[in-house]
Amino acid sequence: METQSVRITVDAVVFGYENGHISVLLIKRKYEPFKDKWAIPGGFVLNNESLEEAVERELQEETGIKINYLEQLYTFGEPTRDPRGRVVSIAYFGLVRPNAFKIYASTDAADVQWFNIDELPELSFDHKEILEIAIQRLQGKITYEPIGFELLDKKFPFSDLERLYSTLLSRDIDRRNFRKKIINLNVLDELDEKVSKGSGRPANLFQFNQKRYFQHKTEGIIFEI
């Protein structure tokens, strides 16, 4: 067998949601290859850390962000995907709340920025493909797992949730039916707080009840939009 000389990286596609559009977190690369090009944050896995630890470390180092939800996305291993040699990358998929939008370019990146997923720059390596797969996963997953809440503030008005789903699924949503459906899932707590958006009637705040969700899940009752 030929001797292996493979290196492992992790990459993280991190999505955020703010004023009606989905954004993805990208860094401007500080070093070659693809110096000064935009890329998905990530980097080499150290010897004694798990893949998840590596993702969280790299995100911290490059962007200073605190991730809210993380799952493995897909592993990319084409022999020629990195000009430096064989690099297998395990891509992750992350979601953050809006207050994570305060980001800073840290030591390992020349710049960090949120990009609307409809206005993406040219990307390094095979990162365009990775991002496309991540977007597909996001759109697919919100319909059968309650991960949408991870993109909103802990307490949110119903209209935020509705707009989020409408944006993600890129179609109109009937407000009454959507509300009925979500309420019937019985995973939201209605709070005794209201919030006003400047004009119009103030909205009641809701909170996702994860414990109740897992309870339903073990009972075989599934989340579905």
Partner DNA sequence: ACAAAAGTGTTTTCTATACACCCATGG
Partner DNA sequence: CCATGGGTGTATAGAAAACACTTTTGT
Which residues lie near a copy of itself (CB under 8 A)? 1-8, 44-51, 72, 74-75, 77-79, 86, 88, 90
* Residue with smaller CB distance to DNA, 154 or 197: 197
Give the burial class of 98: count Cβ atoms within 10 A of its Cβ; 0-12 exposed, 13-18 middle, 19 or more buried: middle
Residue 78 contact, options a copy of itself, DNA, none, Cβ 5-8 Å cut-off depending on partner type: a copy of itself
Distance spanning both ends of the chain, measured CA to CA: 50
- For 182, phi then psi, to 5°, come to -65, -45
Residue 186 contact, options DNA, a copy of itself, none, Cβ 5-8 Å cut-off depending on partner type: none
Q: Which residues sit at the interface with DNA, rule CB under 7 A?
A: 157-159, 174-177, 179-181, 194, 196-204, 224
Number of other residues whose CB lies within 10 A of the CB of residue 53:
13
Question: Cα separation of 153 and 98, whole Å?
Answer: 6
Task: Name the DSSP letter for residue 131.
Answer: H
* Residue with smaller CB distance to a copy of itself, 154 or 181: 181
Distance of closest approach, residue 98 Cβ to a copy of itself, in angstroms: 30
Distance of closest approach, residue 76 Cβ to a copy of itself, in angstroms: 9
* Residue with smaller CB distance to a copy of itself, 47 or 199: 47
* Alpha-carbon distance values, 53 to 50, 58, 59, 204 (Å): 5, 9, 10, 38
Question: Cα separation of 9 and 90, whole Å?
Answer: 6
Residue 175 contact, options DNA, a copy of itself, none, Cβ 5-8 Å cut-off depending on partner type: DNA
Query: Which token pair is 202?
Result: 């103030």
- For 10, phi then psi, to 5°, come to -120, 145
Residue 197 contact, options DNA, a copy of itself, none, Cβ 5-8 Å cut-off depending on partner type: DNA
Query: Which token pair is 19?
Result: 């004023």
Distance of closest approach, residue 186 Cβ to a copy of itself, in angstroms: 23
Residue 77 contact, options DNA, a copy of itself, none, Cβ 5-8 Å cut-off depending on partner type: a copy of itself
